[in-house]
Each structure stands twice: as C-alpha cells, then as structure tokens.
Amino acid sequence: MLKNEIKTTCSYCGVGCGIVVKKDNNDKVFVEGDKDHPVNKGMLCSKGMNLHYVANDTSDRILYPEMRWSRSHPRERVSWDDALDRAASVFKTMIKKYGPDSVAFYVSGQSLTEEYYIANKLTKGFLGTNNIDTNSRLCMSSAVVGYKKTFGEDSVPISYEDIELADCFLITGANPAWCHPILFRRIEKHKEENPNVKIIVVDPRKTDSANFADIHLQLIPGTDIILYNAIARCIYERGLIDEDFINNYTDGFTAYKELIFKTSVKQASKLCGVPEKSIRKVADVIGLSKGFISMWAMGLNQSVVGTDKNVSLLNLSLITGNVGKPGAGPFSLTGQPNAMGGREVGGMANLLAVHKDLANAEHRREVAQFWGVEDISPKPGLTATQMFDALESGELKAIWIACTNPAVSLPNSHKIEKAMANAKFVVVQDISHKSDTTEYADLLLPAAGWLEKEGTMTNSERRISYLPKEIQAPGEARPDVEIFCDFAQRMGFRGFNYNSAEEIYDEYCSMTKGTNIDVSFLNYDRLKTEGTFQWPVPEYRHAGTPRLFEDKVFYTPSKKAIFNVPTSVENTAVKPNGDFPLVLTTGRVRDQWHTMTKTGKVARLKTHYPKPVLEINPVDAYLNNIKEGDITQITSENGEVRVRAKVTKNIAKGVVFLPMHWGKQLQNTLNRANNLTHTVLDPSSKEPDFKYTRVKVAKYKKPKDKIIIVGAGAAAFRFVQNYRELNEADDIHVFSKEPNLFYNRVLLPEYVTDELSWEQLLKIKKQELSKLDINVHPETFIVEINQKEKYVIDSNNEKHNFDKLILATGSRAFVPRDVQIDLPGRFTMRNKQDADEFKAYLDATGLPPEEQHVVIVGGGLLGLELAAAMKHKNAKITIIQRASRLMERQLDSISSKLLSLDVQERGIQIYFDNEVSTVFDDEDTGELNITLKSGKFLTANAIVYAIGTIPNVEIARENGILCGRGVKVNQHLQSCNPDIFAIGEIAEYNNQLFGITSAAEEQANILANYIAGDLGSSYHGSVLMNILKFNDLNLCSIGEIKVPENDNSYEEIIFTDIKKRYYKKCIVKDDLLIGAVLMGDKNEFAEFKSMIESKIEMAEKRDTLLRGASNTEPVKGELVCSCSQVGVGNIEEAIRGGCVDFTELCNSTGAGLGCGSCKTEVREILNNSKVLA
C-alpha cells in the first residue's frame, strides 16, 4: 500500500523534471513522472525513474561526523559540537594568521538555492573573502560569460515550450539524447509530429543525438568558431539575415561582419573537416527557418576558448533575429539541477548575489548593506582549479568542500590529490563514503540528501521549484544549510539564526526586488500551491516569465544585444604532435551521472555501459595495432589511463573519447579520465578544457611473467584457457598432484556407473591442450613457497621461480576421525582414483548390480547424485543422513521434504537423524557390518562418505600466507602477498568460501583479466547455486533460500502444488531477487540466476514473478535498453522476424518502452538493418 504522495523535482541534470514520490508501509519510497509538470509531462529518463533506489539505499551514507587531529591519525567519530567547534577554531586561526583569503568554500550545482545563498553570504559577507566557487565552474561558466557579453546578464531567454514552436534546431557540443533525455524526447516527438522540422547536430562523435539528426557535421575538435562564422557568412551571402533586428536592436555587427569574411567558406571547410556543401546547406536551413533554436553544453563550454565559442554561436541567433520571439533563441543546457540557482545567488568567485557585479563598487555596497556587513572585498576569489593550485602552493590553507567530488571531477586528478594532501585543513561535507574526496578529509560531515531536506532549485529554463522533505536523513546527517548556519554562529557571525529554510528563501527573494531576476513576490506557499515559476516574478499575481526580451530591450548599458568578435577562432590548447598525435575528448554516458556516487548504486543503470572504454576510430585503431576489446593505454603529459578499446566509426579520425564518471576503484586510478586532462583555462570564464587534450594510445603490453599454477581442476583450467586468449607470451606451469589434469569431477557418479566414459569427463583433448602452450607437471605437488625470493620447491625437490603464483589446490573429502578410510570397502568420491577404486571393488565382488548394496553417508548433492546413478544400475542404495532432511543447506524445508519423497519412491532407503557408529568387515561374507547410532544394523558391500569437503590450504598456511578456512583474498583474488593469488574452493573472500564450479570459473575469468592488465577486473563474491542431476526431476536452488525471522524487509513469493511435486519460491529484498528454489521445472533458472548475480532491481518484474512460465528473452549482444534489458541481438532478431516498423519493434522487444532514452539507438539498429537488406 502506497501512501503520502508528494511532488518534487529530480536531482540529476538541469532539465528539472517533476517527480511524484510515494511511500509504502515500510517507509520505502517509489517514484514516477509527474504528468502535470510542464517540463516532463510524466516522462522520466533512466536515471530519474530509478531515483528511489538511491534514496532507499543508505548503505554508503556518511552517518556521523568524523575527525582526525593530525594527518598521521585516522579519523574517528566525534559529536557535531566537537566537529563544528574544531572547524570554527581552525578557520579563525587561519584567517587571523594568514588573512581571509587563506580559506575557501568549494560547493556544488546540486546544492539547493538556500544552501548556495547561505554559503555565499557566509563567505563573501562574513569571512571576508570571495573564495567561494562551485563545480558549475566546470560546466557553465563559459555560457554565463557568453550570455553576459551578449545580453548583459546571465539570462537564458527561452523556455522548453519553445521547442514545440521551433522548426530548426542546431545542437552543438551536446548529446541531449543521453545527457538531457527528457528534453530530447520532446524534440523527437515534435519532429515525429512535424517532419519538416530540421535537426542539425555538430559533434566530432556520432552520438545518438547525431543519429537522429537530419544533418550531422562531424567537425575537427576545436574548430567550432570557424564553423559558426562560416555558417554566418553563408547566411549573409544568401540574404537571409534579419536586417531590421540587427540595425535596431544590436551593436557590433560591423566588426562581426568583417570577421566572418576573413575566412572563405572553402577555407573554413578544410579547417573544420566539414564539407563545404554541408556548411552551405546548414546555413540555408537556419536562414530559412521560422523559429531557430540553438542548444549547447559542455562541447562548447569546457574549452580554453569556451567563451569565444559561446559568443560565436550566440551571434547566429542575433544575425537571424531569433531572440525574443516564440520558438527561437539560444538555449544552454545545464548539467546540474541547480547550477542556475547557484548563479542567481552569486555562488561563484566572480559574482555577487542577484546578478550583481563584483567589480561594481555600488553593487558591492548594496550587497554589504543588505547583509549588514561593512563591505565586500573587490578582489575576485579563486575559481575551482585555482583553489587547488593555491592549496598545492600553500597560498590557500583550508578548504570546505560540499556536495562535490573534485578528486574525480577536476582536471589533472593527480595534481588535485596532491593539492588536497598538502592542505592544512580539509572539510568534506557530503552524503556518501563512495566519494573519492572523503579520503582527504580532516573533518567529514554527514549531509542530508534528496528528499531529506527542503528547499528550491532553478532549472535550465529559469523554472523555480520547491522540493519538500519526505524522509528522515540516516544517522546524524543534517541539511547543508543547517551545517553552514551552525558553523557561522560558532564563528561569532550574526544573521544566521534562521528557524527554517523558508526564512532563508524569503530573505533571498527580498534581495532580488527591482533586479532583472526579481522573485520578490515568490515564496514557499505559492510554490507549494501554484507549482513552478519561471523568473522574473516581479508582482504578486505574476505567473512567471516564459520568454525574455520579447520587447527587444536587453540588459546591456545600450539596451541592445551585442555582436561579440571572438578573440581566437581556434582552440589555443596544445596541439597534437608526433609524440601525442590524437585529441582526447571526455564526457558522459547515458545512464550515469557525474562521479557515480548516486547512479553507481543502481545496478540497472550499470548494465548499459558497465565499464569505461576508449572509443577509437578504426583507422586510428589499425595504425596503433588495437583491436576491439584490447586493453589500451592512453597517455598524456599529465598521466595515463588503461581501459579496453571500443573500435567504432562513431568517433572521427584523430579523436578518441573517454567517459568521465569513473574514479578510483580498489586503489586503481587507471580508469579515471581526468588523469589525462590538463588545467588550461578559458581566460574569461576560467573554465577548464576537458574536450581537447593531446594523447597517444597503444595496446597495453605487460612485462613477460612466469606464472605457476598449483592445482589442475576447474579453476586452473578456466584460468589457463582464458589467459591464453589474452596473453600468448607468458610462461605458464601447472602442477597437479594427480596424474590426470583438467577433468570434470562433478560427473564422477556417471563415470562410476559407466554412463559416461573417461574421455567425456575431460575438459580438453590432448591436441587442444598442446595448443595452449603450457608446461604441465603431473603427479607433482608443491612442498615449499618462498615468498621473499619468489620460488617454489616441488615434490621432486626441484626449484621453480615465479613472477605470479596461483593457488588452485581445491579440496579433499571430509572423513570423520574414527573412520579407517584405507580399509577395504570404505570410499570417498573426489577424484578419478577414488572412482576407479570404487568401481574395481564392486566389480571384484562378482555380484550383479542388483545384488550390490552401497551405503552412502551424506544426503547432500554428491551423495544424492551418486545414489541416483547407482540406482540407475539397480543397485540397492541406503543413505545415512545426520540431519532431519536432505540437502539441508541448499534447500528449504518444503523442497527438501518433496525431494525426500522422490528419492524414496526411487527405491532408495533414507535414515534421517542418524549416523554411522561402527563399520566392521565380515570375513566370512566379505560384506561390511554397519551399525547406526540409532541401533539399526545394516550389511553392505561398500560405504561411501560424501559428507563435505575441506579446502587444501596447508601449503599456503605453512608458508606464511594468511588463511582462515581458506586463503584470504581481496577483490583481485590476491592473498596477503600481491603476487600470490588463490582461486576455486580455497579462495576465501569476505570470510566466505564458494565451493562450486561456477564460482571457481568466475574467479578464474576475473583473475585472468586482472593479470593480463585489466586492473578494473574485480571479484565481489559468487551466487551459490545447486542443480540436482536426477532423471525426471527438475530441482535447483540459487542464492538465499531462507528468510530471517522477524525481518519485514524480506518477501517470499511461493507457488506450491504438493501432489505434482511442483514448488517454486522466490526471496526478495529491497526490490532485488536474492534467492530462488525451483522444483518441477527450471524454466526460470537462467533468468533468475542472472537477476540474482547482477543484482538488477526488478521494478515491474516483481509483479510477474512465478505468475506463469517466463518468456523473458535473455539479453543478446550489447545492451541497448537498461529498463527492459534488451540487447542489440534481441532487436536484430525481431527485425529478421519481420518487425520493421519502429513502434512495432519497440512494442515487440520492450526496448524504448521505459524511459525512452534508447530509442535513437533502436532506430539506428533498424535503419542499419534496412541498409544491409
């Protein structure tokens, strides 16, 4: 039952989608799109529709303040009083000793407006420094400067409602299909309903946005300004400029005209790498349009010439008169939910609140007077990257980092880490321990997150929305604004004793009165009752302002819009050369956001783009001997990255692309794109250039190693097989205690009964084994490991040096101490020798199978399968089971009971709650006389002990390798010695052993990739599963099989038909399938196993579990739709089946029916298939 419905706004990108939040009886929240919201009209992208998982999952949250007294001490838990008293003491000391510019605040475009306002007031008004900046500096500052230079203020002139009124879109330096999906859904819908609408995309990558476009200009990076000027020249030459608008409402056109005629269209074509014909066509489309909208994002802003790119694009709107009218205007796409709100309150180092100018003395006086302080410093503060430069040099002593993760997001990550390590005092105020920046915190403060506090945000179209508090923050976490105000009061500052966030918002609104962003007649009550508003809202009954400059009066001193002449027409960053011949550009992927501290918690969102890859053009790949999937090393002057290659024509020649989301993982920083980027800045906006770094790429070549593997079971075989596909050079030696290597011991029961030949148990034939080029040492075991000198001694007293040692020694059968297993008739069943001796012994009795009696001790998987195999030969079988039911660790009570009935109906006798007391040989009959603890007496020909296994860890433990029940390993399967690894039944990860073949093979795959150079290859445990191999019985279990008592967070979904021996149970926790028992049929086995292993949230799948045979197709090929889990192969299969209509294809496969973000990919697959046909 859902209750407490509220309306709020999405906390991801700047689109600002409305969300309806509901809670269930366990206070878990659920989300859906707000159908009444003017932005998204009920739609949500993949990130937004999974926000409830982020809110409900508090496993990573910072729960209480932590502090260290010195860098040599670890952080420890402290009270809020101790934490903020320490912060105030340190800031007072630093300011007194070094001056106010020795401290700084680095905040975030995710902060609420009230938080931004207080941080800005605190820093500029009371600490006395302008050293407050935001991560919005990394994405929007070039756009801010562009707007100010053109229109006089940072004012976006249009609204989303203009999308449906436009007939031409120029999307440049942006991929809204992935990064602003709901906005792009509106463009798609508008285009579908109005085919005459033209969409132009400018991007060196063939993105999903470009695939949907009518025209894609795949320019050379850094040549944007040349391209825009060439388009403007063509518009002018065709007589398509708006002379009335230019003459009456703009200044600077003469100088601009002179600039665009300096370069011919032919020259521009060559410089940009764009055909002249395409440039002229785009100019015609723009010039002839009735409503022209330009959209851009980081491709323009994140550049050393970002401001010049912005003004040159804005000039296209001016030359065509597409400002201040319906369906027209320039539209910067904001990357964060409240980047605009932060700019409104002055949350940047060079701004004052309410769009006032820091360089203007009168403006400074007005702000100081409003806040009740003497003055505001005229000195511009340090911007984002400048702050960390100053930390590194020692100029800046203390920094307070709130709601952002600069260790991953800022350029030149190694420099940033060095700067934070050098700081005297670092405060980190955040919600998640997963933020890499928390490592550098001297003081760590737990903040409240989305739904845990109230406040306001402003989206890309100037739309202000109210976000209510709905759930309680975990632990001792507090809203950011409370933390800031508490700190300010401990600093002795007046004016921070607010009773609520509403009081702060009212103060800010009153400050805007009479400005161009006047919201003085807006308040929480209106936002709660009337909904969202677009500023300005200068009167009480004012409904907001969808469109600016309709009167053609701008905010410049002349009241006219300004044509700005770019100071540079090309990227002035360091150009590629012989050493670094390629240009690296970085950016987002569809289902992730920023540094993944939120989206990374949702497994469903990780399926589309699970790991970072390098996109590289086939020509560049060929020239560098790189193939699809190769581990590739990318190097710049600043550092290196190592990821796998994705060879694609979607990236232009000479350009490579890396996603920016991944940070440090398991102490590995080689997935972090910002290892490579440099800190050159746009001189006006101070925004770093993430889009133009010169690099070189090469196939990763690891040093040649000698690898010794101890053991020759499933884990060793899978490692050798996989590793040889990745590396043919390393010297591999395999030592086996047995004479027989690489066979399937799980099938020994079928071998015993001659259902399978020995050859059928072999995992590889001799001739295939020789192709692997490994050195095998049968009947040879290791007796000594010298860790320091890296060698082993074998049972033949021979010494073998190693670079990497892999222990895969498996396990042996557990035999009770009082059992004399070496006497005749007593057996275990772990290897070929056991099986051969057992077969030979029974054959030696001379009895036909039906007269043979075998007692099996143990009612687990091996015991049952051996019993069933022997029964298949009509032998008499008795099982002695110590527990009260069969497979008590692998099945629940119901399935175990049903299994017992089945086993007994097969003619197999079972003695429950019993044990073997004595076993004596009858010298007269040659039989065994067996007495049970219950007093029962049996005679048998043989007894087999199948009651568990013991990991073979003695060689590791005796040689100083840390062991528990097994060899302790980390996520790379490394032991306490980083060059010694353990896999298979002896590997103990997180205090758990995983003694099944599938786990051994999974570990081997991960280890093979890791040793081959993929440092992101890591192990996180395996899902235990059991499949009983009985004729005419389907029975398996996967994952958890029991629900803890009195824990309402677990759910059981059960279907039972006792008479037909049909029983199915699913166990669900936090919308994850964590376990299942399937009896009667195993149709869902593959699907359920995949769901449990991947930990993908079920969403709507929860409502259909066990409600009929599953008809869900497994994902085939590369994942396209993360909502419905549909792959390229599924779509192509549907197309081959005759599904060639786009809508029909989506309905048939399920792709595109969720958030819709993948629709452009689906359409591209369909279009490509038509071309091939």
Query: Domain-by-domain residue ranges, the chain?
Result: 3-56, 66-140+343-357+379-491, 142-332, 582-693, 706-813+951-1012, 826-947, 1034-1104, 1119-1172
Structure tokens at 673: 């794109």
* Candidates 3.50.50.60, 3.30.465.10, 3.60.15.10, 3.40.605.10; CATH matching 706-813+951-1012: 3.50.50.60
In angstroms, the CA 363 to CA 357 distance is 6
Q: Residue 457: phi, psi to the nearest 5?
A: -140, 160
Q: What is the CATH number of domain 582-693?
A: 2.40.40.20
| Closest listed residue to residue 481, CA positions, set 498, 493, 459, 469 | 498
Q: Is the pLDDT of residue 21 over 70?
A: yes
In angstroms, the CA 845 to CA 835 distance is 16
Phi-psi region of 827 (alpha: psi -120 to 50; beta: other; left: phi over 0): beta
DSSP string of 1024-1072?
A: -EEE--BTTB-EEEEE---PPTT-TTEEEEEEEEGGGTEEEEEEEETTE
In angstroms, the CA 84 to CA 67 distance is 10
Q: Is the pLDDT of residue 1103 over 90?
A: no
Which CATH superfamily does the domain covering 142-332 fall into?
Dimethylsulfoxide Reductase, domain 2 (3.40.228.10)
CA neighbours closer than 13 Å in the CB half-sphere of residue 639 = 19
Structure tokens at 164: 């449906």
Q: Is the pLDDT of residue 607 over 90?
A: no
* Candidates 3.40.50.880, 1.10.10.1100, 3.40.50.720, 1.10.10.60; CATH matching 1119-1172: 1.10.10.1100
Q: Is the pLDDT of residue 418 over 70?
A: yes
In angstroms, the CA 587 to CA 651 distance is 13
In angstroms, the CA 984 to CA 885 distance is 28
| Closest listed residue to residue 56, CA positions, set 34, 29, 21, 37 | 29
Work out the pLDDT band at 373, boundaries 50, 70, 90: very high
Mean pLDDT for 796-800 is 97
Identify the pLDDT of residue 1173: 58
CA neighbours closer than 13 Å in the CB half-sphere of residue 554 = 27
β-bridge mates for residue 950, sequence order: 812
Mean pLDDT for 247-251 is 98
In angstroms, the CA 635 to CA 643 distance is 11
Q: Is the pLDDT of residue 1156 over 70?
A: no
Identify the pLDDT of residue 2: 66
Mean pLDDT for 982-997 is 96
We find that the CATH architecture of domain 3-56 is: 2-Layer Sandwich (3.30)
Lowest-pLDDT choice from 126-135, 166-175, 758-767, 985-994: 758-767
Work out the pLDDT band at 163, boundaries 50, 70, 90: very high
Mean pLDDT for 226-245 is 98
Percent of the chain whose predicted confidence (pLDDT) is above 90: 84
Q: Is the pLDDT of residue 484 over 60?
A: yes
Work out the pLDDT band at 883, boundaries 50, 70, 90: very high
pLDDT 10s digits, 74-118: 999 999 999 999 999 999 999 999 999 999 999 999 999 999 999
In angstroms, the CA 377 to CA 127 distance is 10
Identify the pLDDT of residue 1063: 93
pLDDT 10s digits, 633-643: 999 999 999 99
Q: Cis (ω within 30 of 0) for the bond into 536? A: yes
| Closest listed residue to residue 404, CA positions, set 120, 114, 136, 178 | 136
Q: What share of the chain is helix, strand, coil (3-state, %, to 5)?
A: 35, 20, 45
Tally of residues, the chain:
1173
In angstroms, the CA 532 to CA 544 distance is 9
DSSP string of 170-237?
A: EEES--HHHHSHHHHHHHHHHHHH-TT-EEEEE-SB--HHHHHSSEEE-PPTT-HHHHHHHHHHHHHH
* Candidates 3.40.109.10, 3.50.50.60, 3.40.50.2300, 3.30.70.100; CATH matching 826-947: 3.50.50.60
Mean pLDDT for 431-439 is 96
Work out the pLDDT band at 729, boundaries 50, 70, 90: very high
Mean pLDDT for 549-571 is 94
Does the domain at 1034-1104 match CATH 3.40.50.150? Answer given as: no
- Buried/exposed code over 544-580 (b: 16+ C-beta within 10 A; e: otherwise): bbbbbbeebebbbeeebbbbbbbeebbbbbbebeeeb
Q: Is the pLDDT of residue 1111 over 60?
A: no
How far apart, in Å, are the Cα atoms of 1028 and each of 692, 903, 1042? 57, 12, 19
Structure tokens at 277: 């014909």
The overall average pLDDT reported for the chain is: 94
Work out the pLDDT band at 1112, boundaries 50, 70, 90: low
Identify the pLDDT of residue 1157: 62
Q: Is the pLDDT of residue 946 over 60?
A: yes
Mean pLDDT for 933-958 is 96
We find that the CATH architecture of domain 66-140+343-357+379-491 is: 3-Layer(aba) Sandwich (3.40)
Query: CB within 8 A of 99, min separation 6: which ones?
Result: none
Query: CB within 8 A of 1122, min separation 6: which ones?
Result: 46, 591, 604, 605, 607, 608, 1154, 1158
| Closest listed residue to residue 245, CA positions, set 187, 322, 170 | 322
In angstroms, the CA 923 to CA 824 distance is 12
Q: Is the pLDDT of residue 836 over 80?
A: yes
Lowest-pLDDT choice from 58-62, 573-577, 598-602, 712-716: 573-577
Work out the pLDDT band at 537, boundaries 50, 70, 90: very high
Beta-sheet pairing, 693-699 with 582-587:
antiparallel
Structure tokens at 504: 């702060």
Work out the pLDDT band at 1153, boundaries 50, 70, 90: low
Q: Is the pLDDT of residue 1154 over 70?
A: no
Q: In what order do the strands lie in the sheet with 775-777?
A: 775-777, 731-735, 706-710, 804-807, 980-982
Map residue 800 onto helix, strand or coil.
Answer: strand
Mean pLDDT for 1092-1097 is 90
pLDDT 10s digits, 253-296: 999 999 999 999 999 999 999 999 999 999 999 999 999 999 99
The pTM of this model reads: 0.90
Q: Do domains 706-813+951-1012 and 826-947 have the same CATH topology?
A: yes
In angstroms, the CA 990 to CA 972 distance is 12
